Amino acid sequence: MISYEVTLQLQPELAAAIEDYMRRVHIPAILATGCFQEIRLSFASPARFRTAYAAAEQAALDRYLSDHAAAFRADFLERFPDGVTVTRQTWVQREMWSAYVS
C-alpha cells in the first residue's frame, strides 16, 4: 500500500472554507479519478489538516501525479492563493499489525 499524504498548515480563519472545499469538492473529485482506494481527512488543530490518499500500488500514484495532480493543485491555489502552506510526502507500507478482538 502506498500512502500519499498532503499536510496543510493554514491561517485559522481559512479553516471552515478549506474544510468545506475538501469535503464537498476536492476529495470527491480526486477519488473519482480511480487512482486511490481510500482517502482520509484528519485534523491536528484548526490550523493543520492532513489528507492521506491510499493507492494499491506505485503505478496508481504515478498515474495520479502525471495525469491529475497539476489540475487539482492549480484549482486549490486559485481558491486559496494565500495563507496555506502545503507539504507532500509519499509513504510505502512495509508491514501492518492489527489487534483482534474475540
In a domain, 102, yes or no: no
Q: What is the CATH number of the domain that holds 63?
A: 3.30.70.100
pLDDT number for residue 12? 95
Domain that holds residue 67: 2-92
* 98 found inside a domain: no
The full DSSP string for 46-94 is TTEEEEEEEESSHHHHHHHHHHTHHHHHHHHHHH--SSEEEEEEEEE--
pLDDT tens readout for residues 21-44: 999 999 999 999 999 999 999 999
Query: How many domains, the chain?
Result: 1
Query: Whose CA is closest to 76, among 25, 37, 3?
Result: 25
What are the tens digits of pLDDT across the range 71-100?
999 999 999 999 999 999 999 989 988 898
Give the whole-angstrom CA distance, residue 96 versus residue 102: 19
Residue 44 lies in a domain: yes
Residue 99 lies in a domain: no
User: Does 69 fall in a domain?
Assistant: yes
